[in-house]
Amino acid sequence: MKQPPKLLTALLIICALQPALSGHAAPAKKKIGFSVYDMQYGFFQDMEKGTREASEAAGYDYVLVDQKSSESTMVSATQDLIDQGINALIISPFKPDALGPIVDAAKAKKIPVVVDDIGGGGTDYDVIVISDNDKGGVIAADQIASVLKGRPSATKKVASISCEPSAVYAARRNAGFEKRIKELGYTVVASLSANSKQEEGYKVAKDILSAHPDVAAIFCGNDPMAVGAAQAVADSGKSGVKDVYIVGFNGDEIALQAIKAGQMGATIQQVPEEMGKMTVQLATKLMNGEKLQYNNAEKREIYVPVKLITAADLGASTK
Amino acid sequence: MSSPQPDQDRRRAAIDWDLLWEKFGIAIVLILVWIVAAVGTPRFANLDNLSSVLRQSAFVGISAIGMTIAIIAGTFDLSVGSSQALSAWTAVLVAAHYGVIPAFIAAVLVAGIIGLLNGSLVVLLRIPAFIATLGTMFLISGLTFIFTNGQTARFNGKDFVWWGNGQLGGIPVPFLIFLLCVLIGIVILHRTPFGRYVFAVGSNIRAAHVAGVPIGRTVLCVFLIVGLFTGLGAALLGSRLYSAGPGLEPGFELNVIATVVLGGTRLAGGRGSMLGTLAAAILFATLANILNLHHVDAFVQRVAVGLVLLLALSVEGIRQRLFERWNRRNHQPTNPAP
């Protein structure tokens, strides 16, 4: 018996049938594709968990690709997702600037695009889910005011350290904070950028402390800068909780440890898992052709709540 | 390493398996992988998907053509990743202000100048290629961050993004350009005196010197060619991504070198194949695609890429050992095969 020709024919038939088989045989189950920024980071692992669990709970097929912090991989891997015949695309883009070809390819196949955090790159995405950054700044201001109220010796002077100016969403944190804290009767004696970096947060905080030794609290637009600021406060022989109350933003591990160790006061935690769940809900609505209720219609933004984390929370959750 | 003496032995055999493997080995592997993937991977044998794979192979592949020539000449270039980022960014910026043709010219010029710089360091200052191009890798990537201020350039003009995203007769434009570049590479290597010099310098630099090969000029041109191809690939990538910025593709230089080595070109120099590079570029793109289609975890993907690299590098060693043994046996016909 000669096998090879038969085998070859079989292969050819399978190849020829492939698109038909996978395209029409199982039309019932919808498929959600998630293209994640980089699974190396805890933030995105949590985001992926939320996205996956919500997809599975809703009865969708779920497929994941990892951009591995490369804009080239971001486009090629997401293209692989689109080619697989997904019904909705969720993406947390490593480089929003390179979203153009992805959104165009998805739109050409009438696949709705839900962007999860980072940025939309000025493209034609359907909706972008971001943390409620402005509200987070307001929560930070309220927390600082309530802590300082219990300290008769504390001044009414606070400082604000922000991320790089190009980080537009992060800028809203400091804007929200400064507006609220002024309403509460405090003075923002310094509002400076430390480019999201811990070492720059340290330097900027040192400058603030030497210019205003009696500053009562510092709000930082992210946790690395807050940890840097806490180090600067500790260097000047003060406490980042009892003397200069420091609040960060993100809920990064380094900040949680600093809070537990009593080096800084609090952080505003983003909840990537909730963001992931939200993207699946939105994808469902988009697949059903429903209209979305935006928080900001012009920029097609939807916000996910953030939460305050203090030493009390960490003690309770023993995280 | 570039062993010239077994050549005579090999010629005794009716078919030169070594040469055949060098020319077509990786292409055969590629075909096998495609057949297995078509059967075992849902949606692999789908026109959209295959066209994505071919498109993707071009961005590393075009730079790998220059690198093939460099490695045959017994040298190599670690700065192609940095050079790619700077020229892709230049291309996007120029495309936004002056149009498509100036963008491609600017990208090729930028990378070409970096190539000349590398070549000058190696030829005039006699810095080993590894050190010289490692130095320019850092230098150019630092300069790119300074020039760009860390910002990504973005442009989505239709006539620009067509080059990276468009199709011609159902075939992705970057892949067509890749094929054209492979042809150019073959012509350079096998139809010009320069090509003969490249092989001569890579096989035995002293012999080449004695034979009157202009070694300095040849090596300088090799680095220039690496730059020119890298610049072209970079402009296409900028077009594909509608954008480019510093740190465009981490590890790009290693992907390029891995592609060349997987394609059967010997790191020791003197031998290599342009068609092998073409097949290897497609093979790498195929592997990444299959792993994505099977939803393989990103960490496992890294392991898989590492394994393929190790396999590729050991194939050369295994092949050489096998042929040494085979040749030895041919020398002693009285010795019966085990």
Average pLDDT, chain B: 89
Domain with CATH 3.40.50.2300 in chain A: 29-125+272-303, 133-270
Q: What amino acid occupies position A72?
A: S
Residue B157 binned pLDDT confidence (cut-offs 50, 70, 90): very high
Measured in degrees and rounded to the nearest 5, phi and psi for residue B77 equal -130, 115
Residue-level pLDDT at A10: 53
Three-state SS across chain A? CCCHHHHHHHHHHHHHHHHHHHHHCCCCCCEEEEEECCCCCHHHHHHHHHHHHHHHHCCCEEEEEECCCCHHHHHHHHHHHHHCCCCEEEECCCCHHHHHHHHHHHHHCCCCEEEECCCCCCCCCCEEEEECHHHHHHHHHHHHHHHHHCCCCCCCEEEEEECCCCCHHHHHHHHHHHHHHHHCCCEEEEEEECCCCHHHHHHHHHHHHHHCCCCCEEEECCHHHHHHHHHHHHHCCCCCCCCCEEEEEECCHHHHHHHHCCCCCEEEECCHHHHHHHHHHHHHHHHCCCCCCCCECCCCEEEECCEEEEHHHHHHHCC
Q: Each residue of A171-213: pLDDT tens digit?
A: 999 999 999 999 999 999 999 999 889 999 999 999 999 999 9
Q: Is the pLDDT of residue B1 over 50?
A: no
**Collapsed DSSP state (helix, strand, coil) of residue B292:** helix
Average pLDDT over chain A, rounded to whole? 89
3-state secondary structure of B6: helix
Q: List the one residue out of B225, B247, B259 whose CA is nearest residue B60.
A: B259
First-to-last CA distance in chain B? Answer: 29
Lowest mean pLDDT among B74-78, B221-225, B308-312, B332-336: B332-336
Residue A6 pLDDT greater than 70, yes or no: no
B56–A76 CB contact, under 8 Å? yes
Residues of B in contact with A68 (CB under 8 A): 298
- Position A317 scores a pLDDT of 46
Q: Is B249 helix (H, G, I), strand (E, B) or coil?
A: coil
pLDDT for position B328 = 78
- Compute CA B112 distance to the chain's CA centroid, rounded to the nearest angstrom: 16
* Chain A residues inside the 8 Å CB shell of B288: 76-77
- With 0-12 / 13-18 / 19 or more C-beta atoms within 10 angstroms meaning exposed / middle / buried, residue A104 is middle
For B166-230, the three-class secondary structure string (H helix, E strand, C coil) is: CEECCEEHHHHHHHHHHHHHHHHHHHCHHHHHHHHHHHCHHHHHHCCCCHHHHHHHHHHHHHHHH
Return the pLDDT at B304: 83
| Cβ neighbours of B233 in A, within 8 Å | none
Q: Name which of B38, B242, B299 is nearest A101 (Cβ-Cβ).
A: B242
Please name the fold of domain A29-125+272-303: Rossmann fold (3.40.50)
CA distance B61 to chain A (A): 14
Q: Number of CB pairs < 8 Å for A and B?
A: 105
Q: Is the pLDDT of residue B317 over 80?
A: no
Residues in B closer than 8 angstroms to A70, CB to CB, are 249-250
Q: Do B161 and A101 touch (CB under 8 A)?
A: yes
- How large is the average pLDDT for residues A108-135? 94
pLDDT at residue A4 is higher than 50: no
What are phi and psi for residue A127, nearest 5 degrees? -160, 150
Indicate yes or no: CB of A100 within 8 angstroms of CB of B241. Answer: yes
Predicted local distance difference test score (pLDDT) of residue A239? 94
CB atoms within 10 A of CB A42: 12
Residue that the structure tokens 């905080």 belong to: A205
Q: Do B151 and A166 touch (CB under 8 A)?
A: yes
Residues of A in contact with B248 (CB under 8 A): 71-72
Contact A14 B249 (CB under 8 A): no
What pTM did the predictor assign? 0.81
Q: Which of A104, A131, A122 is nearest to A279 (CA)?
A: A131
| Digit-coded pLDDT (tens) for B261-292 | 888 888 889 999 899 999 999 999 999 999 88
Which residue does chain A place closest to B88, by CA atoms? A72
The pLDDT of residue B202: 95
- pLDDT higher than 50, residue B87: yes
Cβ–Cβ under 8 Å, residues B90 and B233:
no
Which A positions 228-287 lie with beta carbon below 8 A of chain B?
none
Chain A residues 61-80 with CB within 8 Å of chain B: 63-66, 68-73, 75-77, 79-80
Main-chain dihedrals φ then ψ at residue B170, nearest 5 degrees:
80, -5
Residue A100 contacts B where some CB pair is shorter than 8 Å: yes
Stretch A150-169: mean pLDDT, rounded? 90
Among residues A160, A167, A215, the alpha carbon closest in space to that of A192 is found at A160
Confidence at residue A26, expressed as pLDDT on a 0 to 100 scale: 47
CATH 1.10.260, applies to B6-327? no
pLDDT in tens, B2-59: 444 454 454 555 567 767 777 788 888 899 999 999 998 888 988 889 999 999 999 9
Partners of B38 on chain A (C-beta within 8 Å) are 11, 14-15, 18
Q: What is the strand order of the sheet A127-131 is part of? A: A61-66, A31-36, A88-91, A113-116, A127-131, A301-304
pLDDT tens digits along A231-262: 999 999 999 999 999 999 999 899 999 999 99
**Structure token pair of residue A182:** 């002024």
Tell me if residue B91 falls in helix, strand or coil.
Answer: helix
Q: Is B267 helix (H, G, I), strand (E, B) or coil?
A: coil
The residue of chain A with its CA nearest to that of B58 is A76
Task: Provide the phi-psi class of B81: left if phi over 0, else alpha when psi is between -120 and 50, else beta.
Answer: alpha
Residues B136-145 pLDDT 10s: 999 999 999 9
Contact B241 A19 (CB under 8 A): no
**Of the candidate ranges A6-10, B32-36, B119-123, the one whose mean pLDDT is the lowest:** A6-10
Question: To which H or E segment does residue B146 belong?
Answer: helix B129-148
pLDDT score recorded for residue A40: 85
Q: Is the dihedral of CA A273, A279, A285, A288 positive or negative?
A: negative
Nearest chain A CA: its distance from B164 CA (Å): 10
- Which CA distances in Å does B46 have to A32, A276, B52, B277? 19, 30, 10, 24
What is the mean predicted confidence (pLDDT) over A216-237?
Answer: 95
B interface residues, A as partner, C-beta within 8 Å? 35, 38-39, 42-49, 52, 56, 59, 151-154, 156, 161, 164-165, 237, 240-243, 245, 248-250, 288-289, 292-293, 295, 297-299, 301
The rounded percent of chain A whose pLDDT value lies above 70 is 90
Query: For residue B250, which amino acid is it?
Result: P
3-state secondary structure of B14: coil
What amino acid is encoded at A59 in this protein? G
Tokens of B142: 């630092």
- Assign residue B155 a region: left if phi > 0, alpha if psi is -120 to 50, beta otherwise? beta
User: Rounded mean pLDDT of A65-81?
Assistant: 91
Flag whether pLDDT at B189 surpasses 60.
Answer: yes
Q: What's the pLDDT at A283?
A: 97
Residue in chain A nearest B247 by alpha carbon: A70
d(CA A84, CA A111): 12
Residue with tokens 């993707």: B56
Residues whose CB is less than 8 angstroms from the CB of residue B241 and which lie 6 or more positions away in sequence, other chains included: A71, A72, A75, A95, A97, A98, A100, A101, B88, B164
CATH of domain A133-270: 3.40.50.2300
Tell whether the model's pLDDT for residue B319 goes beyond 60.
yes
Say if A11 is an interface residue toward chain B (CB within 8 Å). yes
Torsion angle defined by CA atoms of residues B114, B115, B119 and B125, in that order, rounded to the nearest 10 degrees: 10
Contacts of A75 in chain B (CB under 8 A): 240-241
Residues of B in contact with A124 (CB under 8 A): none
> Which residue among B43, B152, B248 sits closest to A72, beta carbon to beta carbon?
B248
Backbone angles phi, psi at A155, to 5 degrees: -80, 180
> Measured between beta carbons, which residues in chain B are less than 8 angstroms from residue A18?
38, 42-46
Residue of chain B whose alpha carbon sits nearest to that of A13: B39
- Which chain B residues have a beta carbon less than 8 Å from that of A69? 250
Indicate yes or no: CB of B249 within 8 angstroms of CB of A166: no
What does the angle CA A33 – CA A126 – CA A297 come to, to the nearest 5 degrees?
145
Do residues A124 and A107 make contact, with C-beta atoms less than 8 angstroms apart? yes
How far does CA B216 lie from the centroid of its chain?
23
C-alpha to C-alpha distance for B291 and A15, rounded to whole angstroms:
19
> Chain A partners of B151 at a C-beta cutoff of 8 Å?
166
**Cβ pair B39:A14 closer than 8 A:** yes
* Interface touch B293/A84, C-beta < 8 Å: yes
Residue A318 confidence (pLDDT) = 41
Chain A residue numbers with beta carbons less than 8 Å from the beta carbon of B164 are 101
ipTM reported for the complex, 2 dp? 0.80
C-alpha span between A113 and A119 (Å, rounded)? 13
Report the amino acid identity of residue B155.
F
Q: What is the pLDDT of residues A15-30, one digit of tens each?
A: 455 544 444 444 568 9
Question: What pLDDT is attached to residue A1?
Answer: 41
The stretch A309-317 carries a mean pLDDT of 80
**Among A160-169, B114-123, B293-302, B325-334, the least confident range:** B325-334
Contact at CB, B43 and A83, closer than 8 angstroms: yes
Has residue B308 got a pLDDT over 70? yes
Instruction: Provide the greatest CA pair distance for chain A.
Output: 97
Query: At residue A302, does pLDDT exceed 60?
Result: yes
pLDDT of residue A20: 47
Over range B68-85, report the average pLDDT.
96
Give the residue among B180, B174, B281, B214 at the shortest CA–CA distance from B73.
B214
pLDDT at B215 over 80: yes
On whether the CB atoms of residues A126 and A113 are closer than 8 A, the answer is yes
- For residue A76, the chain B residues in CB contact (below 8 A) are 52, 56, 288
Q: Are B46 and A83 a contacting pair at CB < 8 A?
A: yes
